[in-house]
């Protein structure tokens, strides 16, 4: 069950990484039809050199992403969003979303984390699926309380955090690979130690990122 939950969480994140392009009328039509579940907006930001000079008009929305269900994400290409002849402002966004009561949140610019996995928490929590993060934490606790056969706990700790996919790999490979019969035990071998696990976690994170981008691009062509 934990494995299925985390795989579903990974799918949520992958689809959110590759939203399909839409227009403002598309967004407004989806709102009126009740298809929108979450809206993420980005306001105009101060200029890096002249902080008091806004790049856009006050209250101007410069980026808009929304979900129509957990696996369908759309966005308006970041930049000036026009509402007829005028720019699309936060006041207009609030007026558009108020009748549906949809959740509206501002995009938070964060530096990517290389030391711990954030994917089970950010997008799932945005969609109200906190149980995906809880499944990841529970898997971590199971790992810390067990005696793994493939790698020691320090190696798995690195794979859980930096490696991003460690929790999923742990549930597939420990305490025995899923493809083993119930009565078959893995052959005793030297376990992967912490230092090697750290190096493997860096490689795993790069592979995971590439797979996520490729899969997201593919799903964006398949999903509506």
Q: For residue 160, give both structure tokens.
A: 């859980």
Per residue in 172-214, pLDDT tens?
999 888 888 777 877 777 899 999 999 999 999 888 888 888 8
- Domain range annotation of the chain: 19-106, 122-222
Residue 77: per-residue pLDDT: 80
Phi and psi at residue 13, to the nearest 5°: -65, -40
d(CA 24, CA 86): 12
Nearest to 108 by CA among 93, 128, 123: 123
The neighbour count for residue 196, using CB atoms within 10 Å, is 15
Under a CB-based contact definition with an 8 Å cutoff, are residues 47 and 53 in contact?
Answer: yes
Q: Is the pLDDT of residue 98 over 50?
A: yes
Residue 59: per-residue pLDDT: 79
How many distinct helices (H) and strands (E) make up the chain? Answer: 8, 7
Please give the torsion angle defined by the CA atoms of residues 70, 75, 86 and 36, in that order, rounded to the nearest 10 degrees.
-10
The bridge status of strand 73-76 relative to strand 82-83 is unpaired
Per residue in 132-186, pLDDT tens?
999 999 999 999 999 898 999 999 999 999 988 999 999 999 988 888 877 787 7
Residue 114: per-residue pLDDT: 59
pLDDT, average across residues 48-70: 67
This prediction has a pTM of: 0.82
pLDDT, average across residues 29-52: 75
Q: Is the pLDDT of residue 47 over 80?
A: no
- Kindly report the CA angle at 167 between 108 and 16, in degrees rounded to 5? 35
DSSP 124: H
Per residue in 105-119, pLDDT tens?
988 766 556 567 888
Q: How far is CA 26 from CA 35, 63, 172, 216, in A?
A: 11, 14, 41, 21
Q: Across all residues in the chain, what is the average pLDDT?
A: 85
Q: Identify the CATH assignment for 19-106 out of 3.30.2130.10, 3.30.720.210, 2.60.120.260, 3.40.50.720.
A: 3.30.720.210
Give the least confident one: 22-36, 50-64, 68-82: 50-64
Nearest to 72 by CA among 31, 11, 25: 11
Residue 111: per-residue pLDDT: 59
């Amino acid at each position: 069950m934990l494995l299925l939950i985390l795989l579903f969480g990974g799918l949520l994140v992958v689809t959110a990484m590759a939203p399909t392009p839409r227009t403002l009328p598309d967004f407004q039509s989806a709102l009126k039809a009740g298809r929108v579940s979450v809206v993420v907006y980005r306001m105009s930001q101060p200029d890096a050199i002249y902080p008091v000079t806004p790049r856009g008009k006050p209250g101007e929305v410069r980026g808009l992403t929304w979900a129509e269900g957990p696996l369908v994400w759309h966005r308006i290409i970041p930049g000036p969003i026009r509402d007829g002849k005028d720019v699309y402002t936060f006041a207009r966004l609030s007026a558009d979303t108020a009748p549906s009561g949809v959740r509206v949140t501002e995009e938070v610019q964060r530096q990517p984390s290389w030391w711990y996995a954030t994917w089970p928490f950010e997008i799932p929590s945005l969609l109200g699926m906190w149980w995906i993060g809880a499944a990841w934490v529970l898997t971590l606790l199971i790992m810390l309380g067990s005696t793994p056969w493939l790698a020691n706990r320090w190696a798995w700790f690195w794979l859980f955090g930096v490696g991003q996919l460690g929790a999923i790999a742990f549930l597939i490979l420990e305490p025995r690979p899923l493809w083993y019969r119930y009565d078959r035990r893995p052959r005793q071998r030297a376990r992967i130690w912490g230092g090697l696990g750290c190096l493997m976690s860096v490689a795993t994170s790069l592979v995971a990122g590439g797979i996520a981008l490729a899969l997201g691009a593919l799903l964006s062509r398949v999903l509506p």
